[in-house]
Structure 1
Amino acid sequence: MNASRRTALFSVAASAALALSLTACQSGEGAKAEGAAPVAKDTASAAVSAPASASAAGTSGNTGTGAGTAVGTAHKSDSGSAGAKKGTATPLCRAQDVKVSAERQDGPPYTHIILTARNTSGHRCEMAGFPHIQFLESHKQDVPSVAKSKPAAPTVLNPGDPAFALVKLSDGGVDEDNEVVTAFQLVLEGDSTVVAVDSSAGGGLAVDPAKTLTGYWTTELRNGADDF
C-alpha cells in the first residue's frame, strides 16, 4: 500500500474516531441533560408544592382565626347574656315610683299604723329593706327596724301593686310621753329623696319616740312576724 493511500485511510479512520468521540460526548451531554431534568422537575415540583403548602397553611390560619373569632364571640355572647340579666334585674322602687299613705291599725288606743306604698310607675320595682322614718324634728334618728319582719323573698311590685310596713307608735299607755304628729317623713332604701306622709286624720298620731319600731316592706302583713 502506497503512502498516499495509507494517508487517506488514516484520515478516514481519524474522522471516524472523531465522529465517534463527538457522538460519545453528545451522548454524555445528553445523559447529563437527562440527568438534570429530574432535578429541574423536582425543583419545579417543589416550587409548585411550596405555594400549595403556603396556601394550606394560610387556610389553616384563617380557620384558626375563625375559630378564635367564634370563641371570642361566644365569650362576648356570654358576657352579653350576663349583662342582659343584670340589665333586666328589678330596679329598686324610688320615691317617684310609689305613693305612700298611713292608716291606723286596730285601736283605740292606736299603737300601730300601717304604711302602704303603692307602685304608681309603669314598671316593676323592688321595695327593699324597711322605711327609714323620722316622726319628730326633735328626734333625727331613724325608727329602729324589727329583724323578724324581714321577708324571705324580695318584695317586688308590679305596676299598681302595694307593699306594706307595720309601724309601732307607742305602748298605748296613758302615762307615756307621747307627742302628736300630723305629718312625718321617710326615705326608701337606696333613695335619698324625702317622702312626706300626712297623718293629720283623726287629730294626728300619738307617738312615743322611745317606743317606735318599724317592720320591713312586705307584700302582705303576716301574723306573728309583724307583731311587735
Structure 2
Amino acid sequence: MNASRRTALFSVAASAALALSLTACQSGEGAKAEGAAPVAKDTASAAVSAPASASAAGTSGNTGTGAGTAVGTAHKSDSGSAGAKKGTATPLCRAQDVKVSAERQDGPPYTHIILTARNTSGHRCEMAGFPRIQFLESHKQDVPSVAKSKPAAPTVLNPGDPAFALVKLSDGGVDEDNEVVTAFQLVLEGDSTVVAVDSSAGGGLAVDPAKTLTGYWTTELRNGADDF
C-alpha cells in the first residue's frame, strides 16, 4: 500500500475515533446533565421546604409546647385559683350540724320564744333564711317570716357558735284559739330533715296559729328588727 493511501486511511480512522470520542463525551455530559436536573430539583424542593418546616417549628414553639403555653397555663391556673377562692361558699348548716332548743322570751303570757341553733359540727356553716316551723298537726302551713328581721350579712357559724330566731306565738292573753304545744318541728333551709324541738317545760306553749310569726336566723337579737 502506498504512502498516500495509508495516510488517507489514517486520517479517516482518526476522524472516526475523534467523532466517537466527541459523541461519547457529549453522551456523558448529556447523561450527567439529565442526572443533575433531578438533583437540582430536589435541592430546590429542600430549599423551599426547609423554611416552611422552620416556620412550622417556630409556630409550634409559640403556641404548642413552648414558653407561650407555660405562661398561658400559669395565668389560667392563677385565675382559676382566684376564682375558686372568690367562689368558695360556706356550706349551709344541716340538721345534723346543729342542736336546736327553745326558750321563753318574756313573762306570762309568754307571747314569744327564742330559738337557738348551736353549731355542734367541726366546721363552719351558714344558717340561711329562717326556720320553717310547724307547731300543730292540724296546721301544716309554715309559720310566716318577718322580712325586716333578715340580716344584712349571712349568718355564718363557727363550731360552737349559736344562731337565734325570735318566734311569736300569740298576741297574749287567754284566747280560745290558743292551743298548748309541748313539742313542735322545723326544717332548715336547704335540708328536708325534720328537727324536733321539745317545748314541754312549764306546761308547754300557748300557740295561736293565726298569729304566729318567725324571724330570720341571726347571730344576735336586734332591737327594732326583731320586734314583732
User: Which range moved further: 14-23 or 135-144?
Assistant: 14-23
Deviations 1:156-195 (A, max 9, x none): 1110000000000111123452222111111111111111
Give me the CA root mean square deviation: 4.5
Instruction: For residue 20 of structure 1, report the CA deviation from its aligned partner.
Output: 12
CA distance in 2, matches of 1:206, 1:33: 117
User: Which range moved further: 72-81 or 185-194?
Assistant: 72-81
TM-score (norm 1): 0.75
Instruction: For residue 213 of structure 1, report the CA deviation from its aligned partner.
Output: 0.6
Cα gap change, 1:189 to 1:63, in 2 (>3 Å): closer
Cα gap change, 1:87 to 1:120, in 2 (>3 Å): farther
Instruction: For residue 142 of structure 1, report the CA deviation from its aligned partner.
Output: 1.1
Cα gap change, 1:9 to 1:71, in 2 (>3 Å): same
Deviations 1:85-123 (A, max 9, x none): 598421111111100111111222311110000000001
Q: Conserved in 1, the CA contact under 8 Å of 2:60 and 2:66?
A: no
Please state whether the residue corresponding to 1:65 is helix, strand or coil.
coil
User: Which range moved further: 48-57 or 129-138?
Assistant: 48-57
TM-score (norm 2): 0.75
Q: Number of aligned residue pairs: give it.
A: 228
Cα gap change, 1:200 to 1:51, in 2 (>3 Å): same
| Residue ranges of structure 2 left out of the alignment (5+ in a row) | none
CA distance in 1, matches of 2:69, 2:204: 68
CA distance in 2, matches of 1:189, 1:21: 109
Cα gap change, 1:123 to 1:42, in 2 (>3 Å): closer
Instruction: For residue 56 of structure 1, report the CA deviation from its aligned partner.
Output: 5.2
User: Which range moved further: 104-113 or 170-179?
Assistant: 170-179
Deviations 1:20-79 (A, max 9, x none): 984995699499759958964973783796498379548737953658965985697479
Please state whether the residue corresponding to 2:114 is helix, strand or coil.
strand
Instruction: For residue 131 of structure 1, report the CA deviation from its aligned partner.
Output: 0.7
CA distance in 2, matches of 1:175, 1:10: 156
Partner of 1:100: 100
Cα gap change, 1:39 to 1:97, in 2 (>3 Å): closer
